[in-house]
A and B are shown apart, each in its own frame.
Chain A
Amino acid sequence: MKKNNSESHTTTTDMVPELFRVTHVQNNTRDTYTLFLEPPKHGFSFAPGQFNMLYHFGVGEVPISISGDPGTNDTLIHTIRAVGTVSRAMHRLKKGDTIGVRGPFGTHWPAAESEGNDIVIVAGGIGLAPLRPSIYHILAHREKYGKVVLLYGTRTPEDILYRKEVEQWRARFDMEVRVTVDRSGTDWKGNVGVVTTLISRAHFDPMNTVAMICGPEVMMRFTVQDLHKCGVPMEQIYVSMERNMKCGIGFCGHCQCGPTFICKDGPVYPFPAIKDIFVKREI
């Protein structure tokens, strides 16, 4: 797995935020919004699955996955759930405001390394945001992959993230998209049930599939089990972990999870690398 450059040569720049200008704030769902940021002149490049530390001056800093297209470096995109002091304050940012950005940090989804395979992407809730760069990459190089499947579960139909985009992906002939919600009124004509129920309905060759999963840990646990039951080898299953990342470079220890630092060794792991601590209650 590729690591960011800061792993081997930690410099002060890893700890000093750069100023990015807000160009647009888009509301996605009732508690989720997307920040569009203009990088400094040299642009910003990242790999799908990596995250940044976003600093709202005077309020605080939070780790947020990058949710934009890795193929463009002129706009940095973050989708954020407004659940705490910092993320709520960021929601109030306006066009022209500036925030501090450190990153990108962490490991990435094996999108480029999975060429020639079928791809199964399983997202739960806001877990679609860190997976979207991977989807962009795969669709930009569509001819290099076998079947591409997106299985997406949310709480209600109103919580579907990037709804228009999901509908566009669903309309493609070269991508299978299945969406399910946990609960709904009768006006919803789609599927109701947990995201794992979609696995057996999807079409892919398990032995030649690379699976990328992001969502709440409980959801990922059951998804891994069901994918494996279907025949996907464990070493071809990748998950994205989330912990309390603070420094982003493995110094402070806030995100330590057993022997691993999520900010530096993760957040994306091949499942066998994290299997033992995945179900350990003490960690």
Chain B
Amino acid sequence: MMETLAPILSEHPFLKGLDQKHLELITGCASNIRFDAGQTIFREGEEADQFYIIRQGKVSLQIYTPVHGSIIIDTLTDGDVLGWSWLIPPYQWRFDAVVTELTRAIALDGKCLRNKCEADHDLGFELLKRFSSIVDSRLESTRIRLLDIYASDEKK
């Protein structure tokens, strides 16, 4: 009998507590995936049709600037969720995602999930709640970094 990804997904903090019906809907859109170091998972401007739950590895989110080249703005690692642009129009990636270390992840088909969320608003609400929490913590981290707290500002 073929094993599904349901047991792994149900144990992940991001999806923990989802009812069985919704978990099955999500599992239907999930697949195992592996990326080698140096591989680009997606690029800014490309269509955002997937998101990823990183099981093991390291991925850097980068933004390209004409003067400084690519700058790393965040690092995601074991257990982190990569990507929410699939959920928000115009469904395009806003940054580049580049693999720093061999990464194993579960890819979730965003298009497939968007359709399921439209058909089942309870599922849509559950996913939005979970993504809101991730967006909230990343926004907080970004705001702290905006303060540039380690800069020299003392005069002794």
Residues of A within 8 A of B (CB): 31, 60, 62, 81, 83-87, 124-126, 153-155, 159, 180, 182-186, 188-194, 196-197, 201, 215-216, 218-219, 222
A-B contact pairs, 6 of them (CB 8 A): A83-B153, A87-B156, A182-B150, A185-B69, A193-B74, A222-B144
- Which chain A residues border B98 with CB–CB below 8 Å? 186
The 9 closest A-B pairs by CB, nearest first: A84-B156, A125-B150, A216-B149, A155-B150, A84-B155, A192-B72, A191-B75, A192-B75, A83-B152
- Which chain A residues border B150 with CB–CB below 8 Å? 124-126, 153-155, 159, 182, 215-216
- Which chain B residues border A222 with CB–CB below 8 Å? 140, 144
Contact of B75 among A87, A153, A154, A180 (CB under 8 A): A180
Within 8 A of A (CB), among B128-154: 140-141, 144-145, 147-154
For chain A, what secondary structure do more than half of its interface residues adopt (helix, strand, loop), or is it mixed? mixed
Given contacts A182-B150, A183-B72, A185-B71, 20 further A-B contacts (CB under 8 A): A81-B154, A83-B152, A85-B156, A154-B150, A155-B148, A180-B75, A184-B71, A185-B68, A185-B72, A186-B62, A186-B72, A190-B75, A191-B75, A192-B72, A193-B141, A194-B145, A197-B141, A201-B79, A219-B144, A219-B149
Using a Cβ cutoff of 8 Å, how many contacts connect chains A and B?
86
- Which chain B residues border A84 with CB–CB below 8 Å? 154-156
Residues of B in contact (CB 8 Å), total 31
Assuming the contacts A216-B149, A219-B149, asked whether A183 and B73 have C-beta atoms less than 8 A apart, the reply is yes
Whether a CB of chain A sits under 8 angstroms from the CB of B78 is yes
Within 8 A of A (CB), among B27-77: 58, 60, 62, 68-75, 77
Nearest-neighbor residue (CB-CB) of B151 within chain A:
A155
Contact yes or no, A218 B77, CB < 8 A: no
Nearest-neighbor residue (CB-CB) of B98 within chain A:
A186
Nearest CB of A to B54, in Å: 12
- Which chain B residues border A196 with CB–CB below 8 Å? 141, 144
Nearest-neighbor residue (CB-CB) of A225 within chain B:
B140
In the complex, A190 Cα to B75 Cα: how many Å? 8
Whether a CB of chain A sits under 8 angstroms from the CB of B103 is no
Contact yes or no, A218 B60, CB < 8 A: no
The residue among A189, A218, A219 with the most chain B CB atoms within 10 A of its own CB is A189
- Which chain B residues border A86 with CB–CB below 8 Å? 156
Contact of B69 among A182, A186, A193, A201 (CB under 8 A): A186
- Which chain A residues border B71 with CB–CB below 8 Å? 183-186
- Which chain A residues border B149 with CB–CB below 8 Å? 124-125, 215-216, 218-219
The 0/1 profile, CB within 8 Å of A marked 1, for residues 77-110 of chain B is 1110000000000000000001011000000000
